[in-house]
Chains A and B, each alone.
Chain A
């Protein structure tokens, strides 16, 4: 049976892994290669590297560290941040990334998703969505890497999920901003609604604070993977313990 995925997310800024609370006050949590190996050894199913400043600074990730990570890892990993063209995507995939994720550039120019999917196949095209709830409606924000650059897109989350999939996204990572970094649990209500309209794998992001939160989101929202950062970086939830507890709760998990 297909296992549910546990996915540590490494936010990269200036070549280091950082973590902020609700996209502010970033603190340094370590070296990219050290953390990649640490999580591989702990049993992570996949890693995501987000260059959180890339879209904001109008630059792209250096493929140099991608190649180093690819040489070290024998599990899949995805890179994101400022990928605005087929060429930028190709450089990262050829450096050894398994998937690329686009967020703000796809909002600015949705045709980018079609171009990437046509060029590389949808299996390696992830669309990341930063979604927040206001007055009962889920909406999409862009350029969330910095509080100053963050902006409204005028798009509703459910519409954007379906458009992204129709354009060729092979996976959606939904970051529920109301929950991000506060460790009070995933946004089950939102994820359930999105799950219903999302025909491709769906990964939940934002809110993990305890083992129960992971159990809850897998059982209730039917998502394919759960992404988290601070609980792993701060060792609040060691991955081996998380995985064995989830397995004991009857969730399909790769041990």
Chain B
């Protein structure tokens, strides 16, 4: 199986699967640990709220496996945010005891966006900026548009491969070792998004 799309129980699984179908890549939406372990590439989709999505992963017994993969991993939107140590989202939650814990694969914390008075969620097509030279961004140029829908974001760090600005700049794409993450939805970002997914499939397992 070329691509295992982890069944996070979130709502955008079909859109992500269709995107790989359009690329002609063999893929499967799965929560089967054996399938995930054998896949060449792992995609972690996600929409909704972080506490809800992490609870789903816990209930499905997927936390351990996701924390110990060596193949290329791509987290999308909330799927990217879950890769971090924690998030401000749901912090006020009764039993959260402060901060919501993520998968803890990437140092840092997801924060609520400060849009400087502009509407939130940040919804629509925005441009990629400050691209770092990386195989994931082959053929992608600064000012290319991708589609975002989110209210929380990863601050800019040494893991940032590209930034986007809405009120303030944040990480649009991150990378640490075998782990990639896109805050936007490549599956809904036209040809630019398709190119990024195709580039991800070329990253050697």
A251 within 8 A of B: no
A15 CB–B CB distance under 8 Å: no
A254 close to B (CB within 8 Å): yes
Question: Known contacts A74-B188, A74-B193; is A96 also within 8 Å of B18 by CB?
Answer: yes
CA distance A75 to B118 in the complex (A): 23
Is residue A70 within 8 Å, beta carbon to beta carbon, of the partner chain? yes
Q: Choose among B49, B123, B190 the residue that contacts A224 (Cβ–Cβ < 8 A).
A: B123
Report the count of interface residues on B (CB-CB < 8 A).
39
Pair A74/B48 contact, Cβ less than 8 Å: no
A161 within 8 A of B: no
Contacts of A124 on B, CB cut-off 8 Å? Answer: 11, 47, 149
Which secondary structure dominates where chain B touches chain A? mixed
Give residues of chain B (94-132) contacting chain A, Cβ–Cβ below 8 Å: 118-127
* A16 beta carbon closer than 8 Å to chain B: no
- Alpha-carbon distance between A98 and B120 when the two chains are bound, in angstroms: 17
Given contacts A120-B47, A124-B47, A170-B123, contact A254 B145 (CB under 8 A): yes
- B19 near A74 with CB under 8 A, answer yes
Give the CA-CA distance A125 to B23 in the complex, in Å. 29
Q: Does B141 sit at the interface, judged by CB under 8 A?
A: no
Contact present for A45 and B19 (CB under 8 Å): no
**In the complex, A1 Cα to B143 Cα: how many Å?**
9
* Contacts A74-B191, A75-B190, A76-B147; A171 near B12 (Cβ below 8 A): no
Question: Any chain B CB within 8 A of the CB of A28?
Answer: no
Most chain B beta-carbon contacts within 10 A, residue among A45, A73, A74: A74
With A95-B14, A123-B47, A224-B124 known as contacts, the answer to whether A74 contacts B149 (CB < 8 A) is no
Given the interface pairs A121-B47, A171-B123, A200-B121, the reply to whether A71 lies near B11 with Cβ below 8 Å is no
**Contact across chains for B126 and A70 when beta carbons are under 8 A apart:** no
CA separation between A199 and B113, bound complex, in Å?
A: 14
Cβ contacts B171-193/A at 8 Å (1 or 0 each): 00000000000000101111101
Which A residues are CB-close (under 8 A) to B151? 122-123
Residue A213 at the B interface, CB < 8 A?
A: no
CA of A94 to CA of B17, assembled, Å: 11
B162 to chain A, nearest CB (A): 15
Q: Is the CB of B121 within 8 A of A201?
A: yes
CB pair A94–B124 under 8 Å, yes or no, is no
B85 an interface residue at 8 Å Cβ cutoff? no
Q: Does B70 contact A (CB under 8 A)?
A: no
Q: Which residues of A contact B157 (CB under 8 A)?
A: none
B32 on the A face (CB < 8 A): no
Q: Does A217 contact B (CB under 8 A)?
A: no
Binary B-proximity of A71-94 (CB < 8 A = 1, otherwise 0): 101111000000000000010011
Residues of B within 8 A of A171 (CB): 121, 123
Q: How far is the CA of A198 from the CA of B119 in the complex (A)?
A: 8
B119 CB, nearest partner CB in chain A, Å: 5
B150 within 8 A of A: yes
A204 to B97, CA, bound (A): 41
Distance between Cα atoms of A89 and B182 in the complex (Å)? 26
User: Is there a chain B Cβ closer than 8 Å to A202's Cβ?
Assistant: yes
B84 at the interface (CB under 8 A from A): no
Which of B13, B47, B147 meets A75, CB within 8 Å? B147
Closest to A96 in B: B14
Residues of A within 8 A of B22 (CB): 71, 74
Sample 9 A-B pairs with CB under 8 A, ordered by A number: A2-B118, A74-B187, A75-B147, A98-B185, A119-B48, A120-B11, A123-B123, A124-B11, A200-B121
Which residues of B are in contact with A by a Cβ distance under 8 Å?
11-15, 18-19, 21-22, 47-49, 52, 78, 118-127, 145, 147, 149-151, 165-166, 185, 187-191, 193-194
